[in-house]
């Protein structure tokens, strides 16, 4: 009997994530999956993301049931076992016999037939074990070590969050990371609301921003509004950063730069909110630049291929957004593979690049202009430390406090989150997943005197 399409796709994607360091979210939306039914696509997504979120916990249970060390297993065998144990422990509606049978069939299809009886034996041993309430275990973890184990996170990462944010906030971060995140969108025109409703997309109001919408049901990605760029799938914290970057008094012939623009959702928001401004969007890598194609529909946007560390412009900008490449630790619910790849030493390499981008962007900032530096990272090395290093020894730039800007957004009705203080870390913007209804973002506002 053939393996089900959903499990075959999940198996293939998990192997590619492991071998090629690909990103699961991108693979799950790749063109060759369009033939999957919506039901199979949903199951494949559940399997891939579930295995990646809980990988260390799954491996712990496999190790206890296995007669062989996991590191000695072929990648195909380990992927099939992880898929099997995830279904046994987390998907109550999948019969145990189906989970075991399909994992055995996966190793056979991968030409690892000799491992079939081993996979069958390991999973049958696990199915007899009682699964505890995992989220209850996370909630009562007394320290970072226990929390890392119960929440399937690397201990070094949980330890540093505990030191920086405290144990309770870290519990909330970990719990958020282990749940399926909601989808937030920004609708750029009036007609798209009706189109989305006709397509079966049910929406609720944003929890952070009044103009944001959260998807309750339906598939936004397949709608015409999304394909034409009239709707952007964009986390509410990301929308907030774009709003803050484009705020301020109207400037005649205002020039705005988004210097790390892909996938373009922030650029689109900047351009539509500032229709009389000239908005420049730069991106270095061709595969990322292709994500900016929808911006061609906006008459005031100009896409430029450029390295943000060496910007090619001979003029300055009144507003700049530097949303730099980062570790992404504020987005682990969406990109769980990051936590298994990232190492502490990687943060220093990222920091060097981020400092170079920020310094380059500051050179393009006009006197009296404002730059917003942002990341979707929870790590100080990529946030406060980058700002401090870039501004060291200079007096022409100053960090401005975001509190006034957030208060203005709340007073105007654009922000519906009441607790402004919780969004601030000194002068900086700081959203914490689980504490706030969004991804983890950091932003700093820098002005040139």
Catalytic (active-site) positions? 376
Check residue 413 and report its DSSP letter: T
Answer left, alpha or beta for residue 111, where phi above 0 means left and psi between -120 and 50 means alpha: left
Contact 11, 78 (CB under 8 A): no
Strand locations in 235-329, DSSP E?
Answer: 255-258, 278-283, 301-305, 317-323
Collapsed DSSP state (helix, strand, coil) of residue 254 = coil
Residue 388: Cβ within 10 Å count? 13
Q: Report the distance separating Cα 275 and Cα 256, nearest Å.
A: 11
Contact 106, 11 (CB under 8 A): yes
Q: Report the distance separating Cα 271 and Cα 275, nearest Å.
A: 6
Whole-number Cα distances in Å, 409 to 75, 147, 210: 50, 36, 10
Burial of 105 (0-12, 13-18, 19+ CB in 10 A): buried
Q: Report the distance separating Cα 214 and Cα 236, nearest Å.
A: 9
């Amino acid at each position: 009997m053939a393996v089900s399409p959903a499990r075959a796709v999940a198996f293939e994607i998990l192997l590619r994530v492991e071998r090629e360091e690909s990103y699961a979210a991108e693979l799950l939306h790749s063109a060759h999956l369009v033939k999957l039914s919506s039901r199979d696509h949903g199951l494949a997504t559940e399997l891939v993301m579930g295995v990646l979120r809980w990988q260390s916990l799954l491996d712990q249970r496999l190790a206890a049931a296995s007669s062989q060390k996991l590191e000695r297993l072929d990648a195909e065998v380990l992927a099939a076992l992880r898929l099997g144990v995830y279904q046994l422990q987390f998907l109550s509606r999948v019969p145990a016999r189906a989970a075991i049978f399909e994992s055995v069939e996966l190793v056979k299809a991968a030409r690892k037939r000799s491992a079939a009886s081993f996979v069958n034996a390991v999973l049958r041993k696990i199915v007899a074990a009682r699964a505890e309430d995992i989220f209850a275990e996370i909630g009562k973890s007394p320290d970072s070590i226990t929390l890392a184990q119960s929440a399937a996170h690397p201990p070094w990462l949980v330890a540093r969050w505990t030191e920086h944010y405290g144990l309770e906030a870290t519990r909330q971060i970990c719990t958020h990371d282990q749940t399926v995140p909601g989808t937030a969108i920004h609708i750029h025109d009036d007609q798209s609301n009706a189109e989305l409703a006709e397509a079966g997309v049910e929406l609720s109001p944003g929890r952070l921003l009044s103009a944001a919408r959260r998807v309750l049901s339906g598939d936004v990605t397949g709608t015409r509004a999304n394909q034409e760029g009239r709707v952007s799938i964009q986390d509410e914290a990301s929308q907030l950063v774009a709003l803050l970057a484009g705020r301020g008094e109207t400037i005649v012939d205002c020039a705005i730069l988004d210097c790390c623009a892909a996938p373009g959702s922030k650029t689109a928001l900047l351009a539509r909110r500032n229709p009389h401004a000239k908005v420049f969007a730069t991106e270095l890598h061709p595969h990322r630049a292709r994500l900016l194609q929808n911006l061609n529909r906006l008459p005031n946007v100009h896409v430029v291929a450029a390295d943000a560390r060496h910007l090619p412009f001979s003029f300055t900008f009144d507003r700049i957004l530097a949303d730099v490449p980062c570790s992404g630790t504020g987005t682990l619910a969406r990109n769980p593979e990051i936590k298994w790849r990232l190492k502490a030493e990687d943060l220093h390499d990222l920091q060097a690049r981020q400092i170079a981008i920020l310094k380059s962007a500051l050179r393009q900032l006009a006197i009296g202009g404002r730059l917003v530096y942002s990341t979707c990272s929870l790590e100080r090395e990529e946030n406060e430390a980058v700002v401090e290093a870039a501004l060291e020894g200079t007096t022409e730039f100053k960090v401005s406090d975001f509190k006034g800007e957030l208060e203005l957004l709340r007073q105007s009705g654009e922000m519906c989150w009441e607790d402004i203080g919780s969004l601030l870390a000194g002068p900086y913007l700081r959203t914490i997943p689980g504490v706030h209804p969004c991804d983890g973002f950091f932003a700093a506002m820098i002005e040139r005197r």
